[in-house]
Amino acid sequence: MSTPRGKMVNAFDPASLSGLSAETAEAIRRRQRLLGPAYRLFYKDPVQVSRGQGTKLYDRAGHEYLDAYNNVVPLGHCHPRVVEAVTRQMQTLCTHTRYIQDGILYYAESLLPGFGGQIGASGHMMFTCTGSEANDLAMRIARHVTGRRGIICTAEAYHGNSDLTASFSPSLGDQSPLGAWVRRVPAPDSYRGDPATLGQRMAEAVAEHAWELKRHGDGLAAFIADSLFSSDGIFGTPEVLGPVAEAVRAAGGLFVADEVQSGFARTGARFWGFQRHGVDPDIVSMGKPMGNGYPVAGIAIRPEVIAEFGRDTRYFNTFGGNGVAMAAAQATLDTIRDEGLQENVVRIGALMTEGLRALAARFPAIGDVRGAGLYLGVEMILPDGSPDAAAAARIVNDLRARRVLISATGPAANVLKIRPPLVFSAADTDRLLTETEAVLAAIYR
Ligand code: PMP
């Protein structure tokens, strides 16, 4: 199923300004006038944020919101260690990668070994400002080294906003064109499919599409997936992508692990999402949580994959890998390690999953609770088992009214999407569960 024209899950409808406070309505009109029609806001009553601290956001009136959605700040909003590192570096020097600087090298040294496999042993890092740029670069390199154009992604994938990455981001909707050389495979739906055969079936679909691409003369350059399948509806079954990687390699393609969502300890069990699948990727792309809010992203890559590209062309990105970006990334990585956040994800993720499963046992409208670590999906269903988008929308908005922020996802827009900062505490979890229970009790009286 493809998202209809321009639609985004949990988007505010600009035609429904009535019922909002005069201040909010005016701010929305001003936004439309200045920013135009392509931006989307969250919630039926959009939130005007003015400040953040830890797992909390505050609006102009000083009301506190529990942020159970923001994965861009794994350490929580405005973490002092990142603020201090960025400030200090900005006061010292902020320039690009055509000068020798220590920070970028120190960061690559800190991060690379943790990838394990071939990238861990001898890989390189290249830096961008956004996840879109990282995936764009990954595909340019994959096409250069394979001499082919074909790309396989999942049915509702999102990989970026550049011309190339949008062409393999079907979740942008049916008015956003896919590349003629793009093929889609169903995400491994552990709820509606047999969990035991997910990997095998996905691998078969990949092999079939790779063959078709070859027949059409494009051939497979790369397969790309977010190992949590966030926009496909969040699927956390491990060990699914192993057989897929084999099928990709058998077809001569590269395996690109898009870790923009699943990287940097988000899944708890492992630091990188692909590691839960036993895959040794050719390229890993990363972004979002990498600088705790500062724009820093990039790729890690096997040396053989980049050798020809490096010989035949060159790479420069004015802001990618600048000194301040590296300071933000280093402080974020060090803090994830020093504060034991991966362990916190395991502990709090288990607590949250358990609490949500207890709610599922009481409310049959919850069909499934799934995901990994602190990236959870709660699938809302109608009595006949079909997707209930209206229920998901209502829960998201009722929680927002109680100042708890989550969102929804999936091709049918019926999966609650919960992915808080990694510093989420037991008390935060208790508040999230208590408010969710109150919302469900009011809806399913
Ligand atoms: N890949 C995935 C899986 C993403 O979720 C996103 C952003 N939502 C991107 C790539 C693009 O990242 P950015 O917005 O930083 O360009």
CATH of the domain at 210: 3.40.640.10
Report if residue 21 sits inside a domain: no
Question: Closest ligand 1 atom to the C-alpha of 135?
Answer: 10
Query: pLDDT grade, residue 170 (50/70/90)?
Result: very high
Same domain, 128 and 64: no
Counting residues of the chain whose pLDDT is more than 70, the rounded percentage is: 98
The reported pLDDT for the residue numbered 4 is 59
Tokens of 434: 């208590």
Query: Which of 137, 159, 299 has most ligand 1 atoms within 8 Å of CB, for mutation?
Result: 159
Same domain, 52 and 159: no
Instruction: Answer with the one of 315, 338, 361 that is the final residue of a domain.
Output: 338
Same domain, 367 and 238: no
Phi then psi dihedrals of residue 390, to 5 deg = -65, -40
Same domain, 360 and 324: no
Mean pLDDT score across all residues of the chain: 96
Question: Whole-model pTM above 0.85?
Answer: yes
Same domain, 196 and 277: yes
The reported pLDDT for the residue numbered 5 is 59
How far apart, in whole angstroms, are the C-alpha atoms of residue 188 and residue 234?
Answer: 9
Report if residue 322 sits inside a domain: yes
Q: What is the pLDDT of residues 134-153, one digit of tens each?
A: 999 999 999 999 999 999 99
Same domain, 250 and 348: no
Query: pLDDT grade, residue 445 (50/70/90)?
Result: confident
Cβ distance 306 to 283 under 8 Å? no
Report if residue 42 sits inside a domain: no
Same domain, 158 and 57: no
Same domain, 148 and 280: yes
Cβ distance 411 to 332 under 8 Å? no
The reported pLDDT for the residue numbered 2 is 45
The mean per-residue pLDDT over the stretch 319-327 comes to 98
Report if residue 351 sits inside a domain: yes
Counted residue by residue, the chain has a size of: 445
The reported pLDDT for the residue numbered 15 is 85
Domain range for 385 is 47-75+341-443
**What total number of domains does the chain contain?**
2
Counting residues of the chain whose pLDDT is more than 90, the rounded percentage is: 96
Query: Which of 71, 259, 261 has most ligand 1 atoms within 8 Å of CB, for mutation?
Result: 261
Query: pLDDT grade, residue 361 (50/70/90)?
Result: very high
CA of 91 to the centre of ligand 1 (A): 30
Q: Whose CA is nearest to atom 14 of ligand 1?
A: 131
Report if residue 294 sits inside a domain: yes
Q: What is the pLDDT of residues 221-239, one digit of tens each?
A: 999 999 999 999 999 999 9
pLDDT over 80 at 109, yes or no: yes
pLDDT over 80 at 103, yes or no: yes
Same domain, 159 and 206: yes
CA of 220 to the centre of ligand 1 (A): 22
The mean per-residue pLDDT over the stretch 435-442 comes to 98
Report if residue 156 sits inside a domain: yes
**Longest pairwise C-alpha distance within the chain:** 66
How far apart, in whole angstroms, are the C-alpha atoms of residue 443 and residue 445?
Answer: 6
Instruction: Answer with the one of 310, 338, 366 that is the final residue of a domain.
Output: 338
The CATH number given to whatever domain includes residue 434 is 3.90.1150.10
Judged by average pLDDT, the poorest of 22-26, 117-121, 162-166, 249-253 is: 22-26
Same domain, 205 and 353: no
Query: pLDDT grade, residue 1 (50/70/90)?
Result: very low
Question: Closest ligand 1 atom to the C-alpha of 262?
Answer: 3
Find residue 372's DSSP bridge partners.
375
The mean per-residue pLDDT over the stretch 396-416 comes to 98
CA of 285 to the centre of ligand 1 (A): 10
Same domain, 211 and 324: yes
Report if residue 366 sits inside a domain: yes
**Between 338 and 195, where is the model more confident?**
338
The mean per-residue pLDDT over the stretch 362-383 comes to 98
Report if residue 142 sits inside a domain: yes
Tokens of 432: 């999230």
Pocket of ligand 1, beta carbon within 6 A: 130-132, 135, 158-161, 226, 230, 258, 260-261, 287-288, 297
Give just the sign of the alpha carbon dihedral 352, 358, 359, 365.
positive
Find residue 408's DSSP bridge partners.
416
Q: What is the pLDDT of residues 45-95, one digit of tens each?
A: 999 999 999 999 999 899 999 999 999 999 999 999 999 999 999 999 999
The mean per-residue pLDDT over the stretch 426-438 comes to 98
The reported pLDDT for the residue numbered 8 is 84
Question: Closest ligand 1 atom to the C-alpha of 157?
Answer: 3
Q: Whose CA is nearest to atom 12 of ligand 1?
A: 131
Q: Whose CA is nearest to atom 1 of ligand 1?
A: 159
Q: What is the pLDDT of residues 3-30, one digit of tens each?
A: 555 678 899 988 889 889 999 999 999 9
Same domain, 112 and 227: yes
Instruction: Answer with the one of 323, 338, 353 that is the final residue of a domain.
Output: 338
Query: Which of 158, 162, 228 has most ligand 1 atoms within 8 Å of CB, for mutation?
Result: 158
